[in-house]
Amino acid sequence: MDADEKRFRAYHAAVAGRPPRATLLRALAAFEAENRVGFAVDLGAGEGRDAIVLLQLGWSVLAIDSDATALARLRARRDLPPGARLVTRHGSFVDVSWPRADLVNASFALPLCPPERFPDLWARLRASLLPGGRFAGQLYGERDGWAGRPGLTTHGRDTARALFAGWTIEMFEEEETDAVTPRGEAKHWHIFHIVARAAA
């Protein structure tokens, strides 16, 4: 097990059973208002705190994560609804492709893309959204305590907003706070919480 795997395993143990992210809930409320239930890709799904809600609401979900243990935990969850349309794929979202989707959800995952790979990842993500589809997730700001770590991507506020050019930004909340990580480390967080709708 490498250092990243150890880190994420501890993370998954710490967040087990936590509720879905507010970004996902915001996107789901917007879909509900449109009477739209469809296919979602959950990038960096972990043990499924977001995927489980999508499945419970009747969405088909492709959960992608580089941690096979987290995906096994997701598949074994007792709160999976009967007949859940869940497919898991073990791999890096930097390398794997996915089908076009109504929703691409990426909660606290995209910053874990190496900066030199981010433009390609983002272009593929944008192209994978169906008309009127949504992105929900987080990016880290430049003042995040982990900024500058190898393999971590951060964005300035304007750069982050520019990623959504041509789309409708439905939520863009900037959070900057000193708090602890789920694994108990003190950290300065600088986060953009984002929901955006692709052109119809």
Ligand X SMILES: C[S@@+](CC[C@H](N)C(=O)[O-])C[C@H]1O[C@@H](n2cnc3c(N)ncnc32)[C@H](O)[C@@H]1O
Instruction: Decide if residue 10 touches ligand X (CB under 6 A).
Output: no
Smallest distance from ligand X to CB 35, Å: 26
Instruction: Decide if residue 109 touches ligand X (CB under 6 A).
Output: yes
Backbone angles phi, psi at 98, to 5 degrees: -145, 155
Q: Which residue has the tokens 């900037």?
A: 174
Q: Build a one-symbol-per-residue string for 31-60: x at contacts with ligand X by CB under 6 A, - elsewhere.
A: -------------xxx--xx----------
Instruction: Decide if residue 8 touches ligand X (CB under 6 A).
Output: yes
| Binding span for ligand X by CB under 6 A among 72-80, 91-99, 157-165, 168-176 | 91-99
What Rg value do the Cα atoms of the chain yield, rounded? 16
| Distance between CA atoms of residues 64 and 176, nearest Å | 28
Query: Helices in 64-200 by DSSP H: which ranges?
Result: 68-75, 118-127, 157-162
Smallest distance from ligand X to CB 40, Å: 12
Instruction: Decide if residue 104 touches ligand X (CB under 6 A).
Output: no
Question: Is there a contact between 192 and 139 (Cβ–Cβ < 8 Å)?
Answer: yes
Torsion of CA 32, 38, 44, 48, to 10 degrees: 70
Smallest distance from ligand X to CB 28, Å: 15
The encoded tokens of residue 135 equal 């992105």
Instruction: Decide if residue 11 touches ligand X (CB under 6 A).
Output: yes
Q: Which residues bind ligand X (CB under 6 A)?
A: 8, 11, 15, 21, 44-46, 49-50, 64-67, 70, 92-94, 107-109, 112
